[in-house]
Structure 1
Amino acid sequence: MTATRLAAALCAAGLCLASPPAPAWQSDNGDGSYTNPPLNADYPDPDIIRVGEDFYFATTTFANSPGLRILHSRDLVNWRIAGHVLPRLEGGPAFDLKGGSVYRRGVFAPSLRFHDGQFIIAFTMVGQHTRICRAADVAGPWRCHALDRAAFDPGLFFDTDGSAYIATAIGSDGTVTLLSLSPDLTTVTQARKIHHIPGAEGSKLVRRGDWYYLFNAVPRRLAMTISRARALTGPWETIPSINSAQTGGHQGAIVDLADGRWWGFVMQDKPSIGRITNLSPIFWKDDWPVWGTPEAPGRVPAVARKPVQGQAPQQPATSDEFDAPQLGLQWAWNHNPDDSRWSLAARPGFLRLQATRATTFWSARNTLTQKGQGSYSRADVALDLQGLVRGDHCGFGVIGKVNAHIAATRLDDGSLQLEMGGQVDQGDGKPQTELPIEHPARAALPGPRVLLRTELDFTRERGRLSWSVDGRWQTLGDEFALIYDWRTGTFQGPQYALFCFNPGATGGQMDVDAFLFSDRR
């Protein structure tokens, strides 16, 4: 069923949408140019490679499961989700939300390469040793093994003779260490300190001709440095490059095109949506890569010609009717899910979320998330709540630093009620504070079928929740802040969140008929 047909069917059932669903942010302007960012959502710590005429983009996913998302493009502008490296996260019960959570931890800063007919990716989960995974197809399956140490933000590199290395640095020090790997990539054979840049991390190694280039982020300044040397061991000379506040970003590197041109990709922090990735032409001056063009050097352009012409506009999937036998690749659970408590088969055409045992939204398993997108986006979900029992809290909203949501509950008399609630995460183990709400935040439901809406307006840095049973939308509670903060919350921009939990030993269930995404106000 198409999204338009689904909207019509819901309207016939009395659950009308205000307007048909629309696609996500469109970077491709349709005239041979694009507007930054290609993906107007939280896709941090980018690493982009080219294989033939195809580009692949690996990004940080923290505690989300499946983990370590990879996207595919033919022109660096129009992307789709190709798959995930990790079906589940390993490393302890907290990844299953048992005995605590690992928000802000998990998978960080992957490094993706293609060598000897295989995709190879290196990454380090917080508190664990670096892992290297390999696959013949970027969609998997992936085979993984761990090294004997942790390399912070590992920068995987294969030299022209096939030798394999990892460059690594952590911002609390800034010493760049080069790890030599065995031919089978299972063992570190040598570790050498090759350079020092105060505050540097996020290392990326690239070779062009006789020069090696080392790209590093300096997070304390939200800036990038570029170093070059004739040998991997140095000596290196370093120059400052762009920065997040003024010229477009602070962590990334460059990628070559099939015709020999080079383009840069770089991460930029935004106060509410999170960390986006921008794309820039590169030109060379005295064998140094320069972001931008000779006419406007040293900055990422807001609008530029697409690096590869002729590709049709494309975005990662968003809307979902839950008709497929598996979840769409746009979805991720807040931690590893309890697979016994959710199903796409129990009621065909619906996602069934059975209530997991939890005392708070933050600690509930099986919260299903999707990235919020700028500059404005909203999502409507069609729910059937007839399976709710006393004590259930099931509904829709946002997870991040501010966890605002509408929860449906069943009262003692059997009726259903909606309530806006939420918490603000303070980080560092501090208790969450309740979201202040002044306006009426409760509403009685006349029946079990309802539409819930979450709006994310990143231009105003505000979100809003509303509901409908008859085509007329009613706001519930107050607007809430949209905040990205690396120290608190999930270390990600706001994510849409479907949830169902109960503090008791048993609970009911919520059936989700559809998730309809739009960027229309």
Structure 2
Amino acid sequence: MSDPLHAWSRRRMLTAASGLTAAAALPLAHSAHARPAAASPAVGSHAAGDAALATYTNPVLWQDFADIDIIRVGDTYYYSASTMHYSPGAPILRSYDLVNWEFAGHSVPVLDFGSKYDLDGGRGYVRGIWASSLGYRPSNRTFYWVGQIDFARTYLYTAPSVEGPWARHASLGSVYFDAGLLFDDDDTPYVAYGNTAIHVAQLSPDARTQVRSRQVFSTPPSVGTLEGARFYKINGNYYIFLTRPANGQYILKSTSGPFGPYEMRQVLLDLPGPIAGGGVPHQGGLVSTPDGGWHYMAFTDAYPGGRVPALAPITWTWDGWPVLQLVNGAWGQSYTAPLPLRPVAPMTGTDTFPGTRLSPRWEWNHNPDTGRFSVGDGLTLRTATVTADLYSARNTLTHRIQGPASTATIELDCSQMADGDRAGLAMLRDSSAWIGLKRDGGTTRVVMVDGLTMDGDWNTTGTGTERASTGFAGSRIWLRVQADIRPGAGRQARFSYSTDGSGYSPLGPAFTLNNAWQFFMGYRYAIFNHATRQLGGSVRVARFDLTAP
């Protein structure tokens, strides 16, 4: 097994190459419940119905959902992704057509892996939930999630449905880096994992302990690094799907059982992707449709917005290797939809924070202090931290940005702010900016602040510079950010405010978004309220609106 710190350092040295030429040849399907066809299936085997199917455009979802694992249970598809330091972790999306996706839940309800994930005596930026695996076990009708944390432990979570409740079990005792979970035809659980040295572990029947583990493949030096394992069984063959960050995808095939031996083929390398200025689609998973079609869902580096999913069909060679279907030598910007399109809950729109829980569209920056926020008739944020540093402030609530451009607006009741409080709407990443309110000496100002920065070890290097301000005497304000997250020279966010929810006034200069990849997660809209003097103040967010052209 490779040294996890070595794996970390290698990841940090990788670049998000955008790619030049295409190569393709790949075989596969996800776990045993994703029914493979009796023979090597051809995409479009629903041939007669193709004329009636719509086309779709990549990216199928322009939001930050990286390190994809995708499965099918019956006619429903589920998609799991990384979240690093955001809580709850490991979001699950649901679809009925592989094109339209909605939030369903999270596999990791809280990052209970140490105090740093509470912003208590430390910080967990760019740690937490990395590439992990989602599976479904038909024998007990249970969903499983497995992932390693801090290169130290691997955890198993289970739930009767993706909505939960999810239960955490004792750590597995081994570190399964970038794990891929497989339940074999005889119900035996296996995990493929590793960086460069690829291993397979057989788990106990309850999947909570390791029975045995063996290295099954050593990546040739000519290839470099392989990781991000996904484990499949199709037509009696075992496949381990692996990524070469950040510009290639490879597949291992065994005809002799889960422990190999395996042979390797290249699926793609330096393949032009569907996002102008973006990277090569890679590190995803394969899934079948009920009629025997196959598709590959990958992500494309598209900073500053993050890593964005794209979908493409797969066909199979006569001897059981998959082939990615290209369009003019590239990952296609559009294809025929795999299934009739079925709308789901939109990823944009309005949230007035009804009920007793937040929608799964929301994730906190680290774990929240649950006693200092409430929902129902809006979102109330009571100050949870005394700090001048937004990166250290608890109860900052985040939402992914809709690309290629979108607008987020919050309606904020500030009547209960206290002296020294700071509240507003931020563009949050390792280089951040915000618009909001500062209350000092009994007076309130609307301000635009930038210059919030971190270094490469995610320590704060700048707590912000006020770039513009104006007086404010009311109790309710609307704050707005318009963000263009297309890769390239644009990458701008613009801030404005309104005192009546109708006419908006710009405030401060445009903010250029950082498009470096090292933070991994893309920019997010973030709602915050923290104290700089003492706790006690609060704000209420009556509504959040996310719109896209």
Amino acid of the structure 2 residue aligned with 1:160: D
Residues 383, 538 of structure 2: 8 Å contact kept: yes
Residues 262, 283 of structure 1: 8 Å contact kept: yes
Is 1:458 aligned with 2:489?
Answer: no
**Where do 4+ consecutive residues of structure 1 move more than 3 Å?**
296-299, 433-437
| Deviation, structure 1 residue 341 | 1.2
Please show how residues 286-325 of structure 1 align to structure 2 within 5 Å: 286=318, 287-292=320-325, 296=327, 299-312=330-343, 314-316=345-347, 318-325=349-356
In structure 2, the partner of 1:339 is 370
Q: How far apart in 2 are the matches of 1:495 and 1:318?
A: 16
SS of the aligned residue for 1:195 comes to strand
Please show how residues 349-388 of structure 1 align to structure 2 within 5 Å: 349-357=377-385, 358-388=387-417
In structure 2, the partner of 1:421 is 449
* Number of aligned residues: 477
Q: Pick the aligned partner of 2:98 from 67, 71, 76.
A: 76
Q: How far apart in 2 are the matches of 1:60 and 1:194?
A: 26
In structure 2, the partner of 1:147 is 172
| Deviation, structure 1 residue 323 | 2.6
SS of the aligned residue for 1:340 comes to helix
| Deviation, structure 1 residue 235 | 2.4
| Distance change (3 Å), C-alpha of 1:310 and 1:341 | closer
In structure 2, the partner of 1:165 is 190
Q: Pick the aligned partner of 2:249 from 197, 203, 224.
A: 224
Q: Pick the aligned partner of 1:249 from 255, 274, 281.
A: 281
In structure 2, the partner of 1:235 is 261
SS of the aligned residue for 2:296 comes to strand
Structure 1 window deviating more from structure 2 (269-278 vs 316-325): it is 316-325
Is 1:215 aligned with 2:247?
Answer: no
SS of the aligned residue for 1:254 comes to strand
SS of the aligned residue for 2:298 comes to strand
In structure 1, the partner of 2:542 is 513
Q: Pick the aligned partner of 1:122 from 128, 135, 146.
A: 146
Indicate the RMSD between aligned Cα atoms, in angstroms.
Answer: 1.9
| Deviation, structure 1 residue 492 | 1.0
SS of the aligned residue for 1:160 comes to coil
| Deviation, structure 1 residue 233 | 2.3
| Deviation, structure 1 residue 272 | 1.3
SS of the aligned residue for 1:356 comes to coil
Unaligned runs of at least 5 residues, structure 2: 1-51, 274-279
In structure 2, the partner of 1:278 is 310
SS of the aligned residue for 1:109 comes to coil
In structure 1, the partner of 2:40 is none
In structure 1, the partner of 2:16 is none
Q: How far apart in 2 are the matches of 1:510 and 1:195?
A: 55
Is 1:391 aligned with 2:417?
Answer: no
In structure 2, the partner of 1:8 is none
In structure 1, the partner of 2:121 is 99
Q: Pick the aligned partner of 1:134 from 158, 163, 176.
A: 158
Is 1:400 aligned with 2:429?
Answer: yes
| Distance change (3 Å), C-alpha of 1:255 and 1:424 | same
Q: How far apart in 2 are the matches of 1:97 and 1:105?
A: 13
Structure 1 window deviating more from structure 2 (442-451 vs 43-52): it is 442-451
Residues 419, 441 of structure 1: 8 Å contact kept: yes
Is 1:39 aligned with 2:39?
Answer: no
| Distance change (3 Å), C-alpha of 1:85 and 1:394 | same
Unaligned runs of at least 5 residues, structure 1: 1-29
| Distance change (3 Å), C-alpha of 1:162 and 1:366 | same
Q: How far apart in 1 are the matches of 2:270 and 2:481?
A: 29
| 1:171-224, Cα deviation, whole Å (9 max, x unpaired) | xxx0001111111111111110100123111011112213222111111x5211
| 1:434-477, Cα deviation, whole Å (9 max, x unpaired) | 6677xx51111131211100111123211111111143322211
| Deviation, structure 1 residue 429 | 4.8
In structure 2, the partner of 1:177 is 199
| Distance change (3 Å), C-alpha of 1:241 and 1:61 | same
SS of the aligned residue for 1:152 comes to coil
| Distance change (3 Å), C-alpha of 1:162 and 1:299 | farther
Amino acid of the structure 2 residue aligned with 1:367: T
How high is the sequence identity, in percent, across the aligned residues?
33
Amino acid of the structure 2 residue aligned with 1:47: D
| 1:311-365, Cα deviation, whole Å (9 max, x unpaired) | 23653354211232221121111111111211125xxx22111112223111000
| Deviation, structure 1 residue 484 | 4.2
Amino acid of the structure 1 residue aligned with 2:437: A
Please show how residues 14-53 of structure 1 align to structure 2 within 5 Å: 32-53=54-75
TM-score relative to the length of structure 1: 0.87
| Deviation, structure 1 residue 31 | 7.0
Q: How far apart in 1 are the matches of 2:325 and 2:379?
A: 46
SS of the aligned residue for 1:441 comes to strand
Q: How far apart in 2 are the matches of 1:244 and 1:516?
A: 38
| Deviation, structure 1 residue 261 | 1.2
Q: How far apart in 2 are the matches of 1:340 and 1:445?
A: 30
Structure 1 window deviating more from structure 2 (416-425 vs 316-325): it is 316-325
SS of the aligned residue for 2:394 comes to coil
Q: How far apart in 1 are the matches of 2:60 and 2:426?
A: 25
Q: How far apart in 2 are the matches of 1:353 and 1:59?
A: 27
Structure 1 window deviating more from structure 2 (463-472 vs 243-252): it is 243-252
Q: How far apart in 2 are the matches of 1:129 and 1:104?
A: 16
Q: How far apart in 1 are the matches of 2:383 and 2:270?
A: 42
| Distance change (3 Å), C-alpha of 1:270 and 1:441 | same
Amino acid of the structure 2 residue aligned with 1:288: W
Residues 67, 299 of structure 2: 8 Å contact kept: yes
| 1:341-400, Cα deviation, whole Å (9 max, x unpaired) | 11125xxx2211111222311100000110011010011111111111110011111111
SS of the aligned residue for 1:253 comes to strand
In structure 1, the partner of 2:45 is none
TM-score relative to the length of structure 2: 0.83
Residues 484, 492 of structure 1: 8 Å contact kept: no
Q: How far apart in 2 are the matches of 1:250 and 1:288?
A: 17
Amino acid of the structure 2 residue aligned with 1:42: D
| 1:118-172, Cα deviation, whole Å (9 max, x unpaired) | 11121112243111222221111122221011110111112222221111112xx
| Deviation, structure 1 residue 292 | 1.4
SS of the aligned residue for 1:319 comes to strand
Q: How far apart in 1 are the matches of 2:459 and 2:116?
A: 18
| Distance change (3 Å), C-alpha of 1:508 and 1:137 | same
Amino acid of the structure 1 residue aligned with 2:241: F
Residues 377, 519 of structure 1: 8 Å contact kept: yes
Q: How far apart in 1 are the matches of 2:527 and 2:241?
A: 39
Residues 243, 250 of structure 1: 8 Å contact kept: no
